[in-house]
Amino acid sequence: ENGITRPKGYKVSFHYNSRVEDMHFGKTHPMKPWRLTLTKHLVLGYGLHYAMDTYEAVAAGKDQVRAFHDPDYVDFLAQVSPQTFADLCAMPRFAKYCPPKHENDTIDLGPFNLSTSAGADCPVFDGMSTYLFLYTGATLAATHQLTTQQTDIAVNWSGGLHHAHRGEASGFCYINDIVLSILDMLRYFPRVLYIDIDVHHGDGVEEAFQRQPRVMTLSYHRYGPYDETGHKFFPGTGDITDTGLKGTVGEHFALNVPIPSGIDDRQYKFLFEAVTGRAIEAFNPSAIVLQCGADSLGGDRLGQFNINIKQHGECVSFVKRTRLPLLILGGGGYTARNVARAWCHETALATDNVLPDAIPLDIVPRPEAFQNRAHGNGLLYPPFQRLHNNECKDADLEGMVKKIDT
Ligand code: V1S
Ligand code: CA
Ligand code: ZN
């Protein structure tokens, strides 16, 4: 009676685990796993669970994580907590990974780019091991549903942590669940296309597959010098000239779309559809992984784009129209109420449902999050609290599409 129906002719599976949502990276840290609680409240409030098969995730095993990551790093992640960190660092097996200390460091870095200092990108926090192996488990379960043809679209909003390297954490990412998923997919699908609409460059995934012509990686991201001090927008890679490892069979199987700040809906739609369309045509993928980082939305605490939820969702619809097996993952997203709005809207798009714009405030447990005079209580149009100056020139974007096409 809420009007939610199961999609016709295909299946969607939804993977989650409530224990992931309760984790805290630290008081000042922008990554807030409770944005997943808000997302779940909207998904359930609108009744979208009636349209999908829902699965509570179980933790990934260490052996599964070793399929990509360094064995020492995996053992460290499996044992680390704020209580065990110092003792682990002192063990000879791990001490060799600790960087030398500098006098005026504000952040004490341990091995693998991990730290217990406040303000660190990859802090060691309570329950961290549980958190890491659970979001990875959810992505691997979603992948399994796809590779065994039990579903057509699988969704895990807790995954999509694209910066993690083989033996090192980076940019709030510890285990690269995306790489692990694609490695599994390669056992069943001849070619996998990875698309990344997070505002940051998907460097960890690109690097992992830089010699692999069966995986094409395509990232849209903010790029370029970004402040007076000349600091680059994180992670500082992903130039248009970066198309994979030169001189290997992987060359030309990485695509990067570097974007100046302030890009609007119309310009993003143009870029996304032109480049993604060409990539699909040229690469002819057998399956697609879409990382839907919501930090590319206007008003994000870290992002610098001006895209609305509607356009962010149109990227999902565009990819879905290929009707290829599709894994939908989360990623960044630092203005929690907008992250929840976007990912709920995209869950509806995945299941072919159209939601009424008025959020069912009487059903969501935390209505105050969506009930703000300044932001409104609509699903799709929370006005941005700060717009970025649009530095994108149409002619430059057109030039970029032409350059990428060659
Ligand atoms: N931008 C940004 C930003 N903000 C922080 C941060 C702020 C407060 C804290 F308590 C802790 C960290 N770190 C960064 C970036 C990392 C962005 C990661 C994005 C992740 C994703 O959305 O793509 C996927 C989930 N880090 C930096 O800019 C690096 C530093 C250069 C500055 C911060 N210090 C701590 C390390 C060096
Ligand atoms: Ca990206
Ligand atoms: Zn990001």
ipTM of the complex model = 0.98
pLDDT of residue 227: 74
Looking at residue 286, the DSSP 8-state letter turns out to be: S
**DSSP conformation letters of 211-227:** T-TTEEEEEEEE-SB-S
* Per-residue confidence (pLDDT) for residue 1, from 0 to 100: 67
Ligand 2 (single-atom ion) residues, CB below 5 Å = 196, 198, 219, 221
CA dist list (Å): 227 to 223, 231, 383: 12, 6, 25
Spatial separation of the C-alpha atoms in residues 209 and 186, rounded to whole Å:
11
CA-CA distance, 339 to 296, in Å (whole number)?
Answer: 10
Look at residue 364 and tell me if it is in a domain. yes
pLDDT in the model for residue 103? 80
* Cα–Cα distance measured from residue 51 to residue 349, given in angstroms and rounded to the nearest whole number: 11
75 within domain boundaries? no
Any ligand 1 atom below 6 A from CB of 297? no
State percent of the chain over pLDDT 70: 97
**Does 155 map to a domain?**
yes
Residue 138, pLDDT score: 98
Residues of the domain holding 29: 12-63+126-405
Query: 């033996």: which residue's tokens?
Result: 167
Q: Which mutation among 35, 203, 234, 335 tests ligand 1's pocket best, with the greatest number of atoms within 8 A of CB?
A: 234
For 98-115, the pLDDT digits (tens) are 998 888 888 889 999 999
**DSSP annotation of 306:** -
Q: Do 121 and 171 contact (CB within 8 A), yes or no?
A: yes
Q: Which ligand is nearest to the CA of 173?
A: 1
Quick check: is 223 in a domain? yes
Banded pLDDT at 344 (limits 50, 70, 90): very high
Ranking 166-175, 248-257, 282-291 by mean pLDDT, the lowest is 248-257
| CA 232/CA 235 separation, integer angstroms | 7
CA–centroid distance, residue 170 to ligand 1 (Å): 9
Residue 394 belongs to some domain of the structure: yes
Residue 228 has pLDDT above 90, yes or no: no
CA distance 76 to 224: 35
Please say if the pLDDT value at position 96 is more than 90: yes
Looking at residues 155-160, what average pLDDT do you find? 98
Helix (H) or strand (E) holding 54: strand 53-56
Residue 75: the pLDDT is: 98
pLDDT higher than threshold 80 for residue 226: no
Question: Cβ–Cβ contacts within 10 Å for residue 357, how many?
Answer: 12
Tokens 């063990």 locate to 91
CA dihedral (69, 70, 72, 75) in degrees, to 10, reads 20
In a domain, 25, yes or no: yes
Average pLDDT over residues 225-233: 81
Q: Which residues surround ligand 3, an ion (CB under 5 A)?
A: 198, 200, 293, 295, 332
| Separation of CA 249 and ligand 3 centre (Å) | 29
Among all chains, which residue has been given the structure tokens 């619809």? 317
The end-to-end CA distance of the chain, in Å, is: 51
Q: Is residue 35 part of a domain?
A: yes
Identify whether the C-beta of residue 397 lies closer than 8 Å to the C-beta of residue 270. yes
For the segment 328-339, the average pLDDT, to the nearest whole number, is 97
Q: Which residue has the tokens 């065994």?
A: 148
* Structural domain contains residue 71: no
Q: How many domains does the chain have?
A: 1
Report the mean per-residue pLDDT for the chain.
Answer: 95
Least confident window among 175-184, 263-272, 345-354, 357-366: 357-366
Per-residue pLDDT, 214: 98
> Residue range 400-406: average pLDDT?
88
- Going by pLDDT thresholds of 50, 70 and 90, the confidence category of residue 239 is very high
Residue 40 · residue 16 · CB < 8 Å? yes
Is residue 123 in contact with ligand 1, taking CB distance under 6 Å? Answer: no
Q: Which residues are catalytic?
A: 201
Model pLDDT, residue 384: 65
Report the pLDDT averaged over residues 207-228.
93
* Size of the chain, expressed as the number of residues it contains: 406
User: What's the confidence (pLDDT) of residue 101?
Assistant: 82
Helix, coil or strand: residue 182: helix
CA distance 256 to 203: 10
CATH number of the domain within which 267 lies: 3.40.800.20
Q: What is the mean pLDDT of residues 121-130?
A: 98
Mean pLDDT of the 261-276 span: 97
Written as six digits, the tokens of 46 are 């609108």
pLDDT value, residue 385: 64
Q: What is the pLDDT at residue 195?
A: 99
pLDDT at 183: 99
* Contact assessment for residue 319 and residue 288, using Cβ atoms and an 8 Å cutoff: yes
